[in-house]
Structure 1
Amino acid sequence: MTTLTREPAHATPAGHRNGQGPRQATPRLRGTAWLVWRQHRAAFWTVIGLTLVGVAVMVFLRGQMMDYLNAYDGSSPKSFSLPSDFETYSSDLTRVGGYLGFVPILAGVFLGAPLIAGDLESGTAKLVTSQSVSRLRWLTTKLALTAALIALSTAVLAVVYEWWWSPMKGRVGTQEWTSGAFFDVTNVMPVAYALLTFTVGAAAGLLLRRTLVSMVVTLGIVVAIEVVWDRFRLNLGHVLSVSSDQGVGPDARRPELPAQGVQQGQGTYFLTGSGDRLDWTTCLDQGDTDQTRTACLESKHVIGWSLDYLPVSQMHPMQWLGAGIMLTITAAVAAFIITWGRKRLL
């Protein structure tokens, strides 16, 4: 019998050789996404490595703090106050929060600014877009992949940091939640902040087309954003007031702020019987003695003090409002990058 009349042999699939089952496909980056990862893999792996180091440090420091708190609460009736020697652990928390505050600067200067400027300066953009990859696909892939990594890394750091801080919330003597070391690095804020500075840096690189110049300009813009944000951040909240009506003499009781409430404004106001408030400098020019000033205040029908404050319950709503503003600006800048890049990239 010739080979023409034999039953054709079936090729053995590669996944079934040597009795093996079908090979499972593993998810991999393909096409433009693979190219972007390959091109910026050093920066991306650095971000991942720093994130893991930051998480490890915070987990270790939280473990030390919890050992101290458990020993302190176990040796005495559980209290919402903290001893004076707790300052070391409190300082660690504030210091790490300050370090995390540099993440938006790093995201804008070292990830955003070189992202497009580097390709324009080296000619890589012209080479890539002259192939089958369109400008739109190239821009969106670079922005989306890098932004996803930034969002994931900052979200992980924010969650771990807030987990570290959570046992201290509500205890007397802890840090003010309105400070940047806490407000800007917890919840959704660090993600929105880092994405904003990243897109600003990418836009600067697209317009300036030089890596070093773009990094310097981005640094200046990010610092300006931080100054403006620090100035207007607390305006996102709704200020409440607490007052007393027991007089303003030396023995009169002043109003007390709720736990974790942060005083706002210029300080203490005087409250009159009609509900009006007078500046704390009222009657200071009426003499140097307490009796003279007290008589002046009584003539103005002052009955007590009034304080403005922000309660800790407004922290998360303020963060979401601030993050919404930042993400809106981020989306506008990203749209500008896509629109400008499609027409004037090369």
Structure 2
Amino acid sequence: MSTLTQPPAAPADSGTSASRRGPRLRGMTWLVWRQHRAAFWTVLALTAVGAAWMVYQRGQMVDQLQGFGWPGELQEGWFEEFDGGPLNQMGFGLAVAHLLTGVFLGAPLFAGDLESGTAKLVLSQSAGRTRWLVMKLAMTGAAVVAAAAALSSLYGWWLSPVEKESTVVDWTSQMYFDSSGPVLVGLTLFTTVTGAAIGLLVRRVLASMVVTFGAGLAVMTVWNRYRLELGSPVRVTTEQGVGEDAPYPELPEGAHELDVSHLTASGETVGWGTCNLETEQKSQACLEKNEVVGWAIDYLPHSQMATVQWTGAAILFALSAAVAAFIVIRGRTYVP
């Protein structure tokens, strides 16, 4: 193997000291580490800082909640004094972190070598294309998955005391749903390999970063539009009218309301705005005409959060594997 793809050989008399230092990276693993060690160390440092900050802030939040009666029943109106700023800020930061990872780590992964000519130099030696492509993807993927898994786990732990409190947390929102559990891992991996694929095709670092940023925004838009459709809506109804004195359906703690309708005598529903006419007389006539007998509310219970997250993450992992396979297959013939 060429000296390009392996570390310099140790002197013959240094075998004992080398063994004391433990195993060393060699070959393609060493090369990929050397090329991207600044990015890997940055990811590690940011993960450590984020983890430490979340542990500290979680302690602060628990102290605050204990003043309101936690872990027992919280005193009335506690949420008006609760400071959820740090929780919201970190949630938003994690929710967009995958976009930055794709731009600054994924996009330059292959584009940098192709633009500078390093890829041609590496592949002119004994290193094979497939090995080069797979090792780059594997090491980068392992780094981002480990970082995202650590941060999402800690954020979920931080969030757990108030995750069912709808007055503080909407678990279906981007900053909470995408930042806890496996979703952050899936999004980060998918955006990173997508950036790598874009870099492989575009071959210019800056252009690849710009295209990856746009692609990442598109992924976020599509994901936020369709993710809740992975759940199974539950309906609760009443059959005691819809007037001022009529009871309104009660939802379980932490439920996310999807739709509100009028329930008819036949069991069908009509939009609640259908009979929202300009006069009370016309509204009442409309309700009678449609034989409205009560309310119907569709919602997602908080108990489905983990199921929806894992289903979405499974889809993202499958898409990541497909993009990675494309990179390997395309890169074997596309890379000079």
Cα deviation for residue 185 of structure 1 reads 1.2
Q: Secondary structure at the match of 2:126?
A: coil
Cα deviation for residue 284 of structure 1 reads 2.9
Cα deviation for residue 95 of structure 1 reads 1.5
| Counterpart pick for 1:119 among 113, 136, 140 | 113
Distance 1:305 1:119, change over 3 A: same
Matched, 1:326 2:316: yes
Q: Which residue of 2 aligns with 1:162?
A: 156
| Mapping of residues 77-92 of structure 1, within 5 Å | 78-79=73-74, 83-88=78-83, 90-92=84-86
Q: Secondary structure at the match of 1:73?
A: coil
Does the 8 A contact of 1:117 with 1:211 survive in 2? yes
Cα deviation for residue 102 of structure 1 reads 1.6
Letter paired with 1:63: G
| Counterpart pick for 1:44 among 37, 40, 44 | 40
Q: Secondary structure at the match of 1:29?
A: coil
Does the 8 A contact of 2:79 with 2:168 survive in 1? no
Q: Which residue of 2 aligns with 1:7?
A: none
| Mapping of residues 257-296 of structure 1, within 5 Å | 257-265=251-259, 268-285=260-277, 287-289=278-280, 291-296=281-286
Whole-angstrom CA distance in 1 between matches of 2:195 and 2:19 = 43
Whole-angstrom CA distance in 1 between matches of 2:185 and 2:166 = 29
Matched, 1:147 2:141: yes
Does the 8 A contact of 2:64 with 2:82 survive in 1? no
| Mapping of residues 34-113 of structure 1, within 5 Å | 34-73=30-69, 78-79=73-74, 83-88=78-83, 90-113=84-107
Distance 1:194 1:109, change over 3 A: same
Does the 8 A contact of 1:80 with 1:171 survive in 2? no
Cα deviation for residue 244 of structure 1 reads 1.1
Distance 1:28 1:129, change over 3 A: same
Distance 1:66 1:13, change over 3 A: closer
Letter paired with 1:298: E
Q: Secondary structure at the match of 2:107?
A: helix
| Cα deviation code 1:191-248 (max 9, x no counterpart) | 1111111111111111111111111111111111111111111111111111111211
Q: Percent identity?
A: 47
Letter paired with 2:79: S
Q: Which residue of 2 aligns with 1:236?
A: 230
Q: Which residue of 2 aligns with 1:343?
A: 333
Letter paired with 2:47: T
Whole-angstrom CA distance in 1 between matches of 2:75 and 2:288 = 38
Cα deviation for residue 274 of structure 1 reads 1.7
Cα deviation for residue 179 of structure 1 reads 0.5
Q: Which residue of 2 aligns with 1:314?
A: 304
Whole-angstrom CA distance in 2 between matches of 1:175 and 1:339 = 44
Cα deviation for residue 29 of structure 1 reads 1.9
Q: Which residue of 2 aligns with 1:19?
A: none
Gaps of 5+ in 2: 1-12
Does the 8 A contact of 1:80 with 1:172 survive in 2? no
* RMSD of aligned alpha carbons: 2.2
Letter paired with 1:66: V
Gaps of 5+ in 1: 1-11, 17-21
Runs (4+) of structure 1 moved beyond 3 Å? Answer: 12-16, 22-25, 79-82, 84-87
Does the 8 A contact of 2:194 with 2:323 survive in 1? yes
Q: Which residue of 1 aligns with 2:221?
A: 227
The TM-score, its normalising length taken from structure 2, stands at: 0.91
Does the 8 A contact of 1:82 with 1:172 survive in 2? no
Q: Which residue of 1 aligns with 2:9?
A: none
The answer to which of 235-244 and 168-177 deviates more is 168-177
The TM-score, its normalising length taken from structure 1, stands at: 0.88
Whole-angstrom CA distance in 2 between matches of 1:328 and 1:81 = 45
Letter paired with 2:314: G
Whole-angstrom CA distance in 2 between matches of 1:126 and 1:71 = 63
Q: Secondary structure at the match of 2:286?
A: helix
Q: Which residue of 2 aligns with 1:29?
A: 25
Letter paired with 1:153: A
Q: Which residue of 1 aligns with 2:290?
A: 300
Letter paired with 1:262: H
